[in-house]
Structure 1
Amino acid sequence: MSDIVNEAVKVLNEKLAGEDIGGTAKFDIEGEGAVMIDDAGARAGDEEADVTMSADSDTFRGIIEGDINPTSAFMSGKLSVDGDMGMAMKLASALA
Structure 2
Amino acid sequence: MSEDLNAAAAKLNEKLGGGFDGVAKFVIEGEGAIMVDSDGARVGDEEADVTMTASKETFLDMLSGDLNPTSAFMTGKLSVDGDMGKAMALGSALA
Letter matched to residue 85 of structure 1: M
Number of residue pairs matched? 95
Structure 1 counterpart of 2:57, one-letter code: D
For the residue of structure 1 that corresponds to 2:25, the secondary structure is strand
Residue 35 of structure 2 aligns to a residue whose secondary structure is strand
Partner of 1:83: 82
CA displacement at 1:39 relative to structure 2: 1.1
CA RMSD, 1 decimal:
1.1
Pairing 1:93–2:92 present: yes
Measured against aligned partners, the alpha-carbon deviations of 1:60-93 in whole angstroms (never above 9, x if no partner) come to: 0000000000000000000000000000000011
Q: Where do 5+ consecutive residues of structure 1 fail to align?
A: none
- Partner of residue 41, structure 1: 40
Compute the TM-score of the two structures, normalised by the length of structure 2: 0.95
Q: Which amino acid aligns with 1:80?
A: S
Q: Which amino acid is the alignment partner of residue 3 of structure 1?
A: E
Contact 1:4 1:57 in 2 (8 A): no
Q: What residue in structure 1 maps to residue 14 of structure 2?
A: 14
**Consecutive unaligned residues in structure 2, runs of 5 or more:** none
**Quick one: distance in 2 between partners of 1:36 and 1:18?**
13
State the distance in 1 between where 2:7 and 2:55 align.
15
Per the TM alignment, residue 3 of structure 1 is displaced from its structure 2 partner at its CA by 3.0
Match of 1:58 in 2: 57
Q: Structure 1 residue 31: deviation in Å?
A: 0.6
